[in-house]
A and B are shown apart, each in its own frame.
Chain A
Amino acid sequence: MGTGEAKIGVFICHCGLNIAGVIDVKRLREMASKLPGVVVCVDYPYMCSEPGQELIRKSVAEHGLNRVVVAACSPSMHEEMFRQVLRSAGLNPFLLEVANIREHCSWPHAHEPDKATEKALKLIEMAVAKARLLRPIELKEVPVARRALVIGGGIAGITAALDLAEAGVEVYLVEKEPSIGGHMAQLDKTFPTLDCSACILTPRMVQAARHPNIRLLTYSEVEEVARAGGGFEVVIRKKARHVCEDRCTGCGMCVEKCPVEVPSEFDQGLGPRKAIYIPFPQAVPKVAVIDDEHCIRCGLCERVCEAGAIDFGQEDEFLKVEVGAIIVATGFEVMDPWSLPELGFLESPNIITHLQLERLLSSSGPTGGKIIRPSDGKEPRSVVIVTCVGSRDERANPYCCRIGCSIAVKQAVLLKERLGPEARIYVCFMDLRTYGRGLEEFYAKARSEGITFIRGSPSDIEVMPDGTIKVTVFDQSTGKLLEISADLVVLIAGLRPPGDLKDLAAKLKIPLGPDDFLLEAHPKLRPSEAASRGIFMAGACQGPKDIVETVSHASAAAAKAASMLLKGYVLSEPFIAVVDEASCRGCGRCEEVCEFGAIEVVEEKTGRLVARVNEALCMGCGACSVRCPTGAIKVRNFGPEQILAQVAVASR
């Protein structure tokens, strides 16, 4: 199959008017049909449609084709689909070459149709020249472990872990904090239904901890990731808690007696915690942890602990696990709004972030749910909420945080409810984008409750000697410059990728987008997968999301991972380096340049040195092929002969 004289079919797609609106498809077909080796050339409005695919299958049978060139959109769109067409036509799927005459031609050169047509012909000629030299590739089934690693124990990670566990996959759920729960555990109520965040989250946390297929590793971080076989070998660092997890009963005696107080991270610095602490009442696992940085080793906790769980000698543990899939679910960080120049000099406890307000609203928060003006503990009578702080801002986050508007509406409603109808609540906004189901209605409810929405973004914010904050805002709807004196100012601060996401992405060898969140394999068709096999993403690590979107995204990632893992095997990568052992001299230059550690020069029984490629590790980058002095190592179907054939045509 696929050998002997090349009989090439060229299939030109109109893509509606996307291609045919610019390129003279008829002329292209006439020219392409004269190319050497081309036995049939046809055009069709939508080659990706079922009749288009059938056209290819029929032509293969009718003309005995053994190579196929599709001139259409980018191969990243439909190459895999066209490979399957070849397979169903009885051809090896890798005897296909795609000429991208849309993204590389009709779209960028729409204003020069004649030149675009010429370029399209050139691209097809190059594809034909390469197609002639394509060799069939047989893929191997590589077994994968039915185990997955989920990194991050917020609502995204919990959801993905539970879905996988229910499907029969063993899951390691790794969380860097002492408890799972993530940001959702810090929230008071969720928009637009106003159901209590803890009430819907806590049972899921417990379920994850108790599930027989889930191994929960809190206060742990991913240390190393390496590809092995069809999956990964991962080293997890379990940080020393200095409290034995299986002994601690979570009674809290140690916390009570501990003499050291530091600001609580969970309460966003609005309240204290001890040096030994349980982050929040519903923490899972409900186990204390000693903060090494602040513990003075007075030993009081050890003395009062009836379970004998305190262990100052405990050290970090390293676990090596083998998994078939990794789901990244590391969430987001709320940016520091005081990093903006106009806010940087403002020092007032009465200016807080929306996440701090969540802690004030929460019944488990530092004030027990009482809204106070932090400077004097009095009840605020006037509150200003400012949206888009650091979002849609070229100096900070150019992107929208997606949840800020709905948070503003929710917090305004909750504040009105807690502070009574006389309290004045102002929301200053750039645009109010309450885009989800039920959220426009929620915004209408907020307006009907007398919350004042002002179309304008404040610039001058001033702290008065009595602690009052003066906010000056231009109201675009009335043309008035307004001054609001507020007891409390809430900044809806933008969302950022977690600080350590870059490191994790480097360990996983997956790319970030321009916004530094993880880049998905395809923005529409593969939104929960990384481009490299076996790695998936769930929730806000791929870009800001609300809870509904996060849960949907996490379930999607779990389904994608499960469909891969439950098959029990993955197909080997087609485009990897292979060594022609006869011409390999064993010089080791390929081994030197390989960034993935995929090549090793080994000594054969005869004493001869020869390079060997680890198929699981090779990413097909081709660096070895460039370096090889004898041309012995080549990436399949991307070897010098195929590439040079294209170059010859292109430079003619």
Chain B
Amino acid sequence: MSGLTDLMTMAKPNEALKARIIALLARGPDMCLQCGRCTSGCTAFRLLELKPHEIVCSAKMGFVEELVSSKSIWDCALCLKCAERCPQEVSPYELILSLRNEAISKGLEIPEALRDILMTLMETGLAFKPKKAVDREGKAYGREELGLPALRTGLSEQALMALMELLGGA
């Protein structure tokens, strides 16, 4: 049997899964020059067990299963600095989104905070439920009091599917 083995986990590359995960990316992890600039500027550096360059290089070598189940892909702040600054235009951010999609389609558990957002999204079509505005005296105002029209909430099945498709989910 030829090929790679990760001697710590005895994992083997999963080339088919790698291909599926990088299919949507403009420039895949293969183009990475291993400079580490993505990690140098990472907003979520302190939170991440796996740093952006490690995620990219693991994906490059086909070690994607561990990435899909990694907590780190959910800790990314999606600030886009890595995508903006990569000298090779490899976007760790996009790779992370693609890994998240894979995690969700596999039905893996996702962090609670994100699940709340997801639920809100499905219920209302918005990432966050509307909140009241508060002035300096601490008085709260609803939309109505501010003369704003009522929000259309709820998402049609059709719209939900369109949104899912747009996000690359199934």
Pair from one complex: yes
Chain A residues within CB distance 8 Å of chain B: 381-382, 424, 426, 444, 447-448, 450, 452-455, 468, 472, 475-487
B1 CB-CB contact with A under 8 Å: yes
A477 touches B53 (CB 8 A): yes
Q: Determine the chain B residues whose CB is within 8 A of the CB of A478 once the complex forms.
A: 54, 57-58, 61, 63
A479–chain B nearest beta-carbon distance, Å: 6
B167 CB-CB contact with A under 8 Å: no
Q: How far does the alpha carbon of A485 sit from the alpha carbon of B54 in the complex, in Å? A: 22
- List the A residue with the shortest CB-CB distance to B59: A478
A483 touches B5 (CB 8 A): yes
A450 touches B30 (CB 8 A): yes
Q: How far does the alpha carbon of A477 sit from the alpha carbon of B34 in the complex, in Å? A: 7
Q: How far does the alpha carbon of A448 sit from the alpha carbon of B32 in the complex, in Å? A: 10
B60 CB-CB contact with A under 8 Å: yes
List, sorted by A's number, 17 A–B pairs whose CB atoms are closer than 8 Å: A382-B3, A424-B2, A452-B4, A455-B34, A477-B34, A477-B54, A478-B54, A479-B54, A480-B63, A481-B6, A481-B8, A482-B5, A482-B7, A482-B61, A484-B4, A485-B1, A485-B3
**Closest CB pairs A-B (n = 6):** A382-B2, A477-B57, A483-B5, A481-B7, A478-B57, A477-B34
Query: Using an 8 Å CB-CB cutoff, how does the interface string of B5-48 with A read, 1 for contact, 0 for none?
Result: 11110000000000000000000001110101000000000000
Q: How far does the alpha carbon of A481 sit from the alpha carbon of B63 in the complex, in Å? A: 13
A85–chain B nearest beta-carbon distance, Å: 48
Q: How far does the alpha carbon of A123 sit from the alpha carbon of B10 in the complex, in Å? A: 69
A480 touches B34 (CB 8 A): no
B7 touches A424 (CB 8 A): no
B7 touches A472 (CB 8 A): yes
Q: What total of chain B residues lie within 8 Å of the partner, measured CB to CB?
A: 21
Q: How far does the alpha carbon of A605 sit from the alpha carbon of B43 in the complex, in Å? A: 96
A480 touches B58 (CB 8 A): yes
B2 touches A453 (CB 8 A): no
A261–chain B nearest beta-carbon distance, Å: 33
The residue from A448, A481, A484, A486 contacting B31, defined by CB atoms under 8 A apart: A448
Q: Determine the chain A residues whose CB is within 8 A of the CB of B54 once the complex forms.
A: 477-479
Q: Determine the chain B residues whose CB is within 8 A of the CB of A482 once the complex forms.
A: 4-7, 61
Q: How far does the alpha carbon of A447 sit from the alpha carbon of B35 in the complex, in Å? A: 14
- List the A residue with the shortest CB-CB distance to B6: A480
Q: Determine the chain A residues whose CB is within 8 A of the CB of B6 once the complex forms.
A: 480-482
- List the B residue with the shortest CB-CB distance to A479: B54
Q: Determine the chain B residues whose CB is within 8 A of the CB of A476 once the complex forms.
A: 34
Q: How far does the alpha carbon of A475 sit from the alpha carbon of B60 in the complex, in Å? A: 12
Q: Determine the chain A residues whose CB is within 8 A of the CB of B4 once the complex forms.
A: 424, 426, 452, 482-484
Q: Determine the chain B residues whose CB is within 8 A of the CB of A486 once the complex forms.
A: 2
B69–chain A nearest beta-carbon distance, Å: 16
Q: A475-B57, A485-B5 are in contact. List 16 more A-B contacts (CB 8 A).
A: A452-B60, A452-B61, A453-B34, A454-B61, A468-B2, A477-B32, A478-B54, A480-B6, A482-B4, A482-B5, A483-B4, A483-B5, A484-B3, A484-B5, A485-B1, A487-B2
Q: How far does the alpha carbon of A481 sit from the alpha carbon of B10 in the complex, in Å? A: 10
B2 touches A448 (CB 8 A): no
- List the A residue with the shortest CB-CB distance to B57: A477
- List the B residue with the shortest CB-CB distance to A440: B33
- List the B residue with the shortest CB-CB distance to A423: B2
A483 touches B7 (CB 8 A): yes
B2 touches A447 (CB 8 A): no
- List the A residue with the shortest CB-CB distance to B7: A481
Q: How far does the alpha carbon of A381 sit from the alpha carbon of B4 in the complex, in Å? A: 12
